[in-house]
Structure 1
């Protein structure tokens, strides 16, 4: 049996956590993409569409379709930018807030289920290690890959 790698296990845990969250979230009738829009928008109300697309790491056209559906459902509203008529600023409607609370509740249920037999210390250590890994990767991703390394990968 092949040995698991860190990347594979991290990816699989994240995938399974999303799957479990989605199982609980079906009752609200939103897609995972719509949940992500709500979550990001709740932290960045008043952002313009391109800024939100960048935060979500999706194409603007994809976001526009999501926003159209969410606006039809009464969850978000677009407001004109006060000085730039080309921009729409995005805000949650009062109807979105109960869904955000529901999302936070099922997110917490999923986290509790994931960490069910972890001690508080194990939980803290795991979080600390993952945050360190994220910091290392953010630093690495901000650095250009050297030409020699790219040549090595392409030409073996």
Structure 2
């Protein structure tokens, strides 16, 4: 893409809108997490554990794109609130497996419900066929960027 003296918004409107949408979603999730006494990273951990309870602490760090020291601190705080428990891994004495408590599961389900409600609000006036096209386009964009920056450097 040739650089011009136009705004990024005009030169890459889809990327700009994805960025703007991401900011809005993040802000809403942060507000909801705060109302529940959580940080957004803590909420992301609970949401991941809802679908993969019993994951190792290091696996959870990888899955949530969080470094191991940060995940340890997040889990310390969640454990103090009795939202998660860490248990020794029977196959690896150095590892801990992380599980949701009943209260943690209830909070994770509430967060999932909030996310779905927010999604429904965002797409309520968009016909199903348009949502399908948007999903296909965004999937292709994501796949084009996943794991490679080769194309970016080649265009310079």
TM-score, length-scaled by structure 2: 0.83
1:116 pairs with 109, 118, 124, which one? 124
Helix, strand or coil: the match of 2:85?
A: strand
Distance 1:115 1:121 in 2: 12
Any residues of structure 2 matched to 1:67-146 within 5 Å, and which?
67-138=75-146, 141=147, 143=148, 145=150
Runs of 4+ residues deviating >3 angstroms: 143-146
1:2: which partner in 2? 7
Higher relative contact order (CA 8 A, sep 6+): 1
1:19 and 2:19 are equivalent in the alignment = no
Q: Deviations over 1:70-124 (max 9, x none)?
A: 0000011111111321111111111112112211221112112222321111112
The root-mean-square deviation of aligned C-alpha atoms, in Å, is 2.2
SS in 2 for 1:118: coil
Give the 3-state SS of the residue equivalent to 1:78 in structure 2. strand
TM-score (norm 1): 0.83
1:8: how far off?
A: 2.5
- Structure 2 unmatched ranges of 5 or more: 1-5
Once residues 33 and 133 of structure 1 are traced to their aligned partners in structure 2, the CA distance between those partners, rounded to angstroms, is 25
| Deviation of the 1:25 alpha carbon | 3.5
Unaligned runs of 5+ in 1: none
Please state how far the C-alpha of 1:59 moved relative to its aligned partner: 1.0
How far has the Cα of 1:38 moved from its partner? 0.7
